[in-house]
Amino acid sequence: MKHLIAAAAAALLPGLLGAAELSLPDSAARVSKRVTALGVYQLPIGPEDADKVPSERFEGQITRRTWRVEGRDTVLQILAPLRDQLKQQGYEVRLDCAARDCGGFGFRFGIEVVPAPDMMVDVSRYHFLSAARGAEAVSVLVSRAGGAAFVQVINVHPAATAPSAGKPAVQAQKDPGQAQTGPVRPVELAKVLQVRGHAVLTDLVFESGSTRLQEGQYDSLKELAVFLTDHPQYRLLLVGHTDTVGSQAQNVGISKRRAQSVKDRLTEAYETDTARIDVAGAGFLAPIASNLIPEGREANRRVEAVLLTD
């Protein structure tokens, strides 16, 4: 079967000092990679119940990867070989459920998912698996959407043994919609801004039902602060975007307030010069995904940094 290990051709998850090493189908094309040098991951260990997903806390280096898989294989046909590989490596399965058994919509939006379009999830067609081995954890999410399948793998290793522990976290940046088939090399946010003129700040998390940015450290904001310090000739415009729920007038206000929240965090946490950062709200006028599906609407709710010159 084409699912099985094909070492010479399959996309591999690097074996970082005992980390889960998985072989994906031959047709898998890597889409994104995000690394947090030290963070906390709440590993889901039970179905959604009363709007909550039971979880277990793991701390360490967190690596998030996504792939797009062409073909007609079902989500379970893709996930089953990955589950077998984890068991062979000594991982204990904590949760193994299909969409309806997991909790459908509630579970999908109660767990961590890499933002669309890097990871697309159909709330009726996904399968989730979580497993642990000592202080290490891994979760696998597989879904079909738009004629293809998408795979997300999140790994956690104790920071003391992770190779990049103590180094600044770097988030991979990519051209949305363009799959990367070779090894993923993290690209500095500064380079993305200078080459493309703008970049989506994909690691931002806003409080539920609010325009206020959640507490915590965000790699993208740290990199923006460093960029402004190193390049005094530039300014930034932070532009908020929304989905199409509600009127355009309402969404312009919401998107601008979210952009202002990001600016406030930049100036307060990193002492960035407020005069070098402007904000704007575009509402729903510049979507990057379809607003007809939940995943697309989630992707469209974003803040982008736009490079300006004096």
Rg (CA), the chain: 20
* pLDDT (tens digit per residue) in 226-254: 999 988 999 999 999 999 988 999 999 99
User: What are 123-181's pLDDT values in tens digits?
Assistant: 888 999 999 999 999 999 999 987 899 999 999 998 754 444 333 333 333 333 333 33
Domain positions in the chain are 28-157, 189-309
The amino acid sitting at 1 is M
pLDDT the model gives residue 181: 34
- Identify the CATH homologous superfamily for domain 189-309: OmpA-like domain (3.30.1330.60)
The pLDDT of residue 310: 66
pLDDT: which is higher, 120 or 8: 120
Residue 65: name the closest of 24, 5, 122, 13 by CA: 13
DSSP bridge partners of 237: 278, 306
Task: Encode burial over 129-139: b for 16+ CB neighbours within 10 A, e otherwise.
Answer: bbbbeeebbbb
Q: Supply the pLDDT for residue 162.
A: 46
Mean pLDDT of the chain: 82
28-157 with 189-309: one CATH topology?
no
Does residue 207 have a pLDDT over 90?
no
Higher pLDDT, 79 or 178: 79
> Which tens digits make up the pLDDT trace of 35-68?
888 888 999 999 998 878 999 999 999 999 999 9
Give the Å distances, CA to CA, from 303 to 121, 184, 200: 21, 24, 6
pLDDT at 107 over 80: yes
Higher pLDDT, 209 or 167: 209
The pLDDT, as a whole number, for residue 187 is 46
What's the pTM value of the predicted model, to 2 decimals?
A: 0.52
Q: Please provide the DSSP assignment of 45-65 as one string.
A: -S--BTTB--EEEEEEEEEEE
Q: How far is CA 254 from the centre of its chain?
A: 22
28-157 CATH: 3.40.1000
Summarize pLDDT for 272-299 with one digit per residue, the tens.
999 999 999 999 998 888 888 887 888 8
